[in-house]
Amino acid sequence: MSPIRPVVAIHGGAGTPSRAAIDAEQKAAYHAALREILAEAQETLAAGATAVDAVTLAVQRLEDSPLFNAGFGSVFTAAVTHELDAAIMDGATLRAGAVAGVSRIRNPALAARAVMEQGEHVLMAGAGAESFAHDLGMETVEPHYFSTDFRRSQLHRAQGTAAIILDHDGGAPLSEDKKFGTVGAVALDMHGNLAAATSTGGMTNKRPGRVGDTALIGAGTYADNRTAAVSCTGTGEMFIRAAAAHDLCARMAYGGARLDDAARQVVMEALPAIGGRGGLIAIDAKGNVTLPFNTEGMYRGYARVGEPPCTAIFEDPSDPPSP
């Protein structure tokens, strides 16, 4: 039996700026951030870290980067506030934890893991989740910590609009003001265990109190050693209705589908049938990786132990993966 080669994959959200709207400097910044985070997670896996440790680290780093809509740099609600969601799941035990609608926890992914490890609940929300994190000594911040001038300008331009679209999705450049996104990570460790974690700042100009798929186990986040670890990004309401992350695993478990086939059935067939746009990243128990999306692009990458990280934004010859 061949030894397991640990692997980690991450995403920084589907619905990227269009090719016409993103310049070389911006592309380089995204590739550099993705590679740096992948390299750090890869290093921990090589040193024997668990898949749960690797996805926690990767998502925490994504939350700390202002380039992505999670943690620092999260988008604003219509009430000019921040409401963050996160979830994590251990494929070995099917334990899971999530937080929703928090605005004072610096790294919601760490709080989600704490919920999982306490074992009493799976999902905690709002002030109760924040009190829970505070009682455990987790780092809390004033809500303005998450704010950036860029996100504030997005909100100001988006106010008064009704449509919600992915960030510069499709063809002509669309309004950056209506961006929403997510970050996530999936991993397979040297012990053969899988894990997934996802975090988001939600949607620009969203109605306060809205919770998307990120914090809902089986919708935006799922992991099961028998099948795969999955983290999703896109139109959250549709991912909830499709139970997208669990649907992928169910297609493998009950229908015998291979990872890539199951992922593409969900992303290219099941979700578009109800108007769902976005993508997902997934790793199966054999270490196969898939990163499909039905938008113009998705910030993404993966790294196997012993190989250089590979990152990409679009999917065509003009934007080859960047090692």
In Å, how far from its chain's centre is CA 167?
15
Look-up: residue for tokens 């860029």? 150
Residue 25 forms part of a structural domain: yes
Verify whether residue 182 is a known catalytic residue.
yes
Query: Is beta strand 123-125 parallel, antiparallel or unpaired with respect to 96-102?
Result: parallel
Letter string b/e over residues 134-173, b meaning 16 or more CB atoms within 10 A of that residue's CB: eeeebebeeeeebbeeebeebbeebeeeeebbbbbbeeee
Q: Provide the pLDDT for residue 299.
A: 95
Q: What is the pTM of this model?
A: 0.91
Residue 140 forms part of a structural domain: yes
Residue 320 forms part of a structural domain: no
Nearest to 200 by CA among 107, 123, 85: 85
Look-up: residue for tokens 């219509």? 78
Residues annotated within a binding site:
210-213, 233-236
Residue 35 forms part of a structural domain: yes
Rounded distance, CA 292 to CA 304, Å?
Answer: 18
Q: Provide the pLDDT for residue 20.
A: 66
Letter string b/e over residues 4-19, b meaning 16 or more CB atoms within 10 A of that residue's CB: bebbbbbbbbbbbbbb
Residue 323 forms part of a structural domain: no
- Residues facing 21 on adjacent strands: none
Q: Provide the pLDDT for residue 194.
A: 98
Residues 6+ apart with CB under 8 A from 198: 59, 86, 87, 88, 182, 183, 184, 214, 220, 221, 231, 232, 233
Residue 273 forms part of a structural domain: yes
What is the residue range of 192's domain? 7-314
Residue 239 forms part of a structural domain: yes
CATH of the domain at 265: 3.60.20.30
pLDDT in tens, the chain (323 residues): 568 999 999 999 987 666 666 788 889 999 999 999 999 999 999 999 999 999 999 999 999 999 999 988 888 888 888 889 999 999 999 999 999 999 999 999 999 999 999 989 999 999 999 999 999 999 999 888 887 777 777 777 777 665 444 443 433 333 343 344 799 999 999 999 999 999 999 888 888 999 999 999 999 999 999 999 999 999 999 999 999 999 999 999 999 999 999 999 999 999 999 999 999 999 999 999 999 999 989 999 999 999 999 999 997 544 445 44
Pick the catalytic residue from 44, 182, 221, 227. Answer: 182
Q: What's the number of domains the chain is made of?
A: 1
Residues annotated within a binding site for substrate:
210-213, 233-236
